[in-house]
Amino acid sequence: SYELTQPLSVSVALGQTARITCGGNNIGSKNVHWYQQKPGQAPVLVIYRDSNRPSGIPERFSGSNSGNTATLTISRAQAGDEADYYCQVWDSSPVFGGGTKLTVL
């Protein structure tokens, strides 16, 4: 089965740029989606098909995907961006990464 690898945690200073990676074999050939999940809440889609933002998601959120790594980039990080972030692809069925906890310092 296809595996997605995410760092357990990422820290970023307030106002700086955070990058969260999602590794997988030739993931660049797949469509990658990203979800934000705050404590006690349901996940929210923040990026779909590598780099597209759903309506209502700030432009500070962007995504890229190439080779064996997909990246979620959060510019001008805010305290409200603190959350768990999950990547997801489709490989015969939906597959999620293990999640990354983003801390804004």
Partner 1 sequence: QVQLQESGPGLVKPSGTLSLTCAVSGGSISSSNWWSWVRQPPGKGLEWIGEIYHSGSTNYNPSLKSRVTISVDKSKNQFSLKLSSVTAADTAVYYCARDSGITMISFFDIWGQGTMVTVSS
Interface residues toward partner 1, by CB under 8 A: 1, 31, 33, 35, 41-45, 48-49, 54, 86, 88, 90, 93-99
The nearer residue to partner 1, 3 or 14, going by C-beta atoms, is: 3
CB 100 within 8 A of CB 9: yes
Minimal distance in Å, beta carbon 76 to partner 1?
Answer: 25
The nearer residue to partner 1, 50 or 81, going by C-beta atoms, is: 50
Minimal distance in Å, beta carbon 83 to partner 1?
Answer: 13
Minimal distance in Å, beta carbon 6 to partner 1?
Answer: 9
Torsion from C-alpha of 8, 14, 18, 20, nearest 10 degrees: 20
Minimal distance in Å, beta carbon 15 to partner 1?
Answer: 29
The nearer residue to partner 1, 14 or 90, going by C-beta atoms, is: 90
* Alpha-carbon distances, residue 19 vs 16, 37, 64, 90, 103 (angstroms): 10, 16, 10, 22, 12
- Tokens 């906890």 locate to 101
- Choose among 77, 61, 65, 68: nearest CA to 10: 77
